[in-house]
Chains A and B, each alone.
Chain A
Amino acid sequence: MTIEPARLRAGTLAAGFAVLLVAVVAGLGLGPVGIAPRAVLYALVDALPGVSADSGLSSIHEAIVQEVRLPRVVLGLLVGATLSVSGAAYQGAFRNPLVDPYLLGVAAGAGLGATIAITQNLGDGSGFTDLVPLSAFAGALFAVALSYGAGYIGGRSTASLVLAGVAVASFLTACQTYVLQANSDAFREVYSWILGRVATSGWSEPLLLLPYFVVAVAVMLRYRRALDILAVGDEEAQALGIDPRRVRIHVVVAASLGAAAAVSVSGLIGFVGIIVPHVVRLSFGTSYRVLIPLSILFGGAFMVLADLAARTLVEPAELPIGVVTAFLGAPFFVVVLRMSRREVW
């Protein structure tokens, strides 16, 4: 008898990387200046430190790929991967399909932080000295800490934590609305921040996000088997010899940290954290051993493609990426839902 426990097959993993590569090449090659995929690949290899390859492109075109588009594509990839893997992990930790990484108030906290920074004119829009992302990050972490604190007052159940998150999010959104009403001249700028973007003028945003991305991804990959055990509920998980609360707090802290960092550099991009993990579940099954790695790859690819659409559909203007993720993602999700025969929740 041959039986095979759930694991990520090499072919599936390769397919995930292939999809991501196609998205990256498209993101680098398409735009007002079209560049052939082959030249994009050479330019990409050439951009690696210590490697040189001749893309055959003019120096202007090479600069477009390496200096204009590449930071933006990398930022989109990191944001998409972080949000979708955090969403997958949150869904596993709370055993709830409707949960996204904003559950414990990350979005509301970041929104308040950004609104305060923008209305106080703390943003100079120039990379590391721009206080808007830092303020948003601080707001997001403050919100998660507040939710955890409030959740523990109401007992230690998962449900009380979720309810605390809802309460904290409402409270912080109310604060944000108040601050915004008092400074209505900043309305446009705040609104544009909220709708999200992965536009970047250089490497500062990707570099800001990178350490949190690495931590979130490393923790989630490490806990992927534990999330499969958590699927049988706390009591049975404990009877199987694990400490479910400890697993949950580690996973949720890492996911929140990642989501907070992603949101602080890109605004409130919705939908990715829910839709990408569910598309992966519907297509490849519900085991977190498969779901976590594939959410990273497909989340990255999805965001790069969404950003491509955001900057090319209404050229020379740009659509807010939060609009695009929902506008393209929702119909796509319905198609996958319709085609899949799996029962995933």
Chain B
Amino acid sequence: MPSITASGLVVALGGTSILSGVELNVAAGEWLNIIGPNGAGKTTLLRSLLGTIDHEGRIEIGGFELDKPQDRARVLAYVPQSPVIPPGMYVVDYVMLGRTPHRGIFARDTDTDVEVAIDVLSRLDLAGFAEREVRSLSGGERQRVVLARALAQQADVLLLDEPTTALDLGHQQDVLDLVDGLRRERGLTVIATLHDLTLAARYGDRIALLADGRIVKSGAPTEVLTADVIAEHFGANVRIINEPDGPVIVPASPERIRR
């Protein structure tokens, strides 16, 4: 099970600096949530780890720098925020795409590939959807299908970019519970970006706050999610209610009502 280390990560897009020296350590089997205001570079950070954008600095996965896309894809599986769903593609074929790093691009599917796909579909309660077009599914079902493709990669690290956007509260919980269950079951390392701070506190082991192109704070939810930190980096006026299973972040009442 690989740990992930990024050091001195610098990314500039179109002349604008997005990441300016990110230091990140994620232990094997850990679940890290990356939070930060809009435009902080959360997605860019995931993409750098994934190797899909040019970056400076060192990224080691399990102690190795992996330069070839195929090598990375065997270790890192990615669930994008807005996945491209090809028209007319069936669920089974979409999930089978996850076998690409093992199969290569020219070879035909092996029995193992099909077995893995069937296994993942059953695990995610998608067996009945196998012959449906992905585009015909609801948002929650689609998110599970995209997750199924990532799991079919049999990678040890799961990178989730805002996995709960566009889902209602119940489906948000479903997806994150599912990830948590799979993580325990398969010993996955999870790195997720999340907008919802309360959810970020509830799921996962640790939170890293990304702001101004750096990780400015990292630690247990109660350490990172304080009213002062949130006021400083999100420009938001919040109250923190400490519940037994984690802090709850609620917007403070507007000024005029309080007076």
Which residues of A are in contact with B by a Cβ distance under 8 Å? Answer: 1, 3-7, 222-223, 225-226, 228-229, 231-233, 235-236, 238-243, 247, 281, 285-287, 342-345
State the 6 A-B residue pairs at the shortest beta-carbon distance, nearest first. Answer: A241-B73, A286-B88, A241-B101, A231-B86, A241-B70, A233-B84
**Pair A228/B97 contact, Cβ less than 8 Å:** yes
Of A222, A231, A239, A343, which is within 8 A of B78 by CB? A239
**Pair A3/B117 contact, Cβ less than 8 Å:** yes
**Pair B92/A4 contact, Cβ less than 8 Å:** yes
Whether A5 touches B96, Cβ cut-off 8 Å, given contacts A286-B87, A286-B88, is yes
B174 is an interface residue with CB less than 8 A from chain A: no
Distance, CA A5 to CA B114, complexed state (A): 8
**Pair A239/B50 contact, Cβ less than 8 Å:** yes
20 contacts between A and B (CB under 8 A): A1-B122, A3-B131, A4-B92, A5-B114, A6-B92, A223-B105, A232-B97, A238-B52, A238-B69, A239-B69, A239-B73, A240-B100, A240-B153, A241-B72, A241-B73, A285-B88, A343-B87, A343-B88, A343-B135, A345-B88
B212 is an interface residue with CB less than 8 A from chain A: no
B227 is an interface residue with CB less than 8 A from chain A: no
Instruction: Report B-chain residues with C-beta under 8 Å of the C-beta of A242.
Output: 69-70, 100, 105
**Pair A235/B90 contact, Cβ less than 8 Å:** no
Whether A287 touches B93, Cβ cut-off 8 Å, given contacts A225-B105, A343-B133, is yes
Distance, CA A231 to CA B89, complexed state (A): 9
Instruction: Report A-chain residues with C-beta under 8 Å of the C-beta of B87.
Output: 286, 343-345
Distance, CA A239 to CA B153, complexed state (A): 10
Distance, CA A343 to CA B52, complexed state (A): 30
**Pair A232/B88 contact, Cβ less than 8 Å:** no
Extra contacts, 19 of them, besides A1-B130, A235-B80 (Cβ < 8 A), are A1-B127, A6-B93, A7-B108, A225-B106, A226-B105, A228-B93, A229-B97, A229-B105, A231-B89, A232-B86, A239-B50, A239-B78, A240-B101, A240-B153, A242-B100, A287-B93, A342-B88, A343-B135, A344-B88
Chain A: CB-nearest residue to B68: A241
B178 is an interface residue with CB less than 8 A from chain A: no
State the total of A-B contacts with C-beta under 8 angstroms: 105
Instruction: Report A-chain residues with C-beta under 8 Å of the C-beta of B108.
Output: 7, 225
Distance, CA A223 to CA B107, complexed state (A): 10
Distance, CA A281 to CA B96, complexed state (A): 20
Instruction: Report A-chain residues with C-beta under 8 Å of the C-beta of B244.
Output: none
**Pair B98/A5 contact, Cβ less than 8 Å:** no
Distance, CA A229 to CA B69, complexed state (A): 14
Chain B: CB-nearest residue to A240: B100
Residue among A6, A233, A238, A241 with the highest chain B CB neighbour number at 10 A: A241
**Pair A286/B97 contact, Cβ less than 8 Å:** no
**Pair A5/B109 contact, Cβ less than 8 Å:** yes
Chain A: CB-nearest residue to B114: A5
**Pair A239/B105 contact, Cβ less than 8 Å:** no
Whether A5 touches B50, Cβ cut-off 8 Å, given contacts A238-B69, A240-B73, A242-B105, is no
Instruction: Report A-chain residues with C-beta under 8 Å of the C-beta of B127.
Output: 1, 3
- Interface positions of B from 74 to 119, Cβ below 8 Å from A: 74, 76-78, 80, 83-90, 92-93, 96-98, 100-101, 105-109, 114, 117-118
Whether A236 touches B84, Cβ cut-off 8 Å, given contacts A5-B114, A241-B73, A343-B133, is yes
Instruction: Report A-chain residues with C-beta under 8 Å of the C-beta of B73.
Output: 239-241
Chain B: CB-nearest residue to A92: B86
B121 is an interface residue with CB less than 8 A from chain A: yes
Distance, CA A287 to CA B257, complexed state (A): 59
B51 is an interface residue with CB less than 8 A from chain A: yes
Residue among A233, A238, A343 with the highest chain B CB neighbour number at 10 A: A238
Chain A: CB-nearest residue to B119: A1
**Pair B101/A236 contact, Cβ less than 8 Å:** no
**Pair A1/B106 contact, Cβ less than 8 Å:** no
Of B69, B84, B92, B153, which is within 8 A of A5 by CB? B92
Distance, CA A316 to CA B184, complexed state (A): 78
**Pair A281/B88 contact, Cβ less than 8 Å:** yes
Instruction: Report B-chain residues with C-beta under 8 Å of the C-beta of A232.
Output: 83-86, 97
Chain A: CB-nearest residue to B107: A225
Distance, CA A324 to CA B109, complexed state (A): 41
Distance, CA A228 to CA B89, complexed state (A): 9
Of A4, A228, A241, which is within 8 A of B69 by CB? A241
Q: In angstroms, how far is the closest chain B Cβ from the Cβ of A327?
A: 28
**Pair A235/B105 contact, Cβ less than 8 Å:** no
Distance, CA A233 to CA B82, complexed state (A): 11
Distance, CA A242 to CA B98, complexed state (A): 12
**Pair B97/A3 contact, Cβ less than 8 Å:** no
Q: In angstroms, how far is the closest chain B Cβ from the Cβ of A237?
A: 8
Q: In angstroms, how far is the closest chain B Cβ from the Cβ of A260?
A: 25
Distance, CA A188 to CA B178, complexed state (A): 70
Q: In angstroms, how far is the closest chain B Cβ from the Cβ of A235?
A: 5
Instruction: Report A-chain residues with C-beta under 8 Å of the C-beta of B71.
Output: 241
Q: In angstroms, how far is the closest chain B Cβ from the Cβ of A99?
A: 15
Distance, CA A242 to CA B68, complexed state (A): 9
Instruction: Report A-chain residues with C-beta under 8 Å of the C-beta of B114.
Output: 3, 5
Instruction: Report A-chain residues with C-beta under 8 Å of the C-beta of B80.
Output: 235-236, 239
Q: In angstroms, how far is the closest chain B Cβ from the Cβ of A92?
A: 10
Distance, CA A344 to CA B106, complexed state (A): 24
Chain B: CB-nearest residue to A4: B92
Q: In angstroms, how far is the closest chain A Cβ from the Cβ of B46?
A: 10
**Pair B118/A1 contact, Cβ less than 8 Å:** yes
**Pair A3/B100 contact, Cβ less than 8 Å:** no
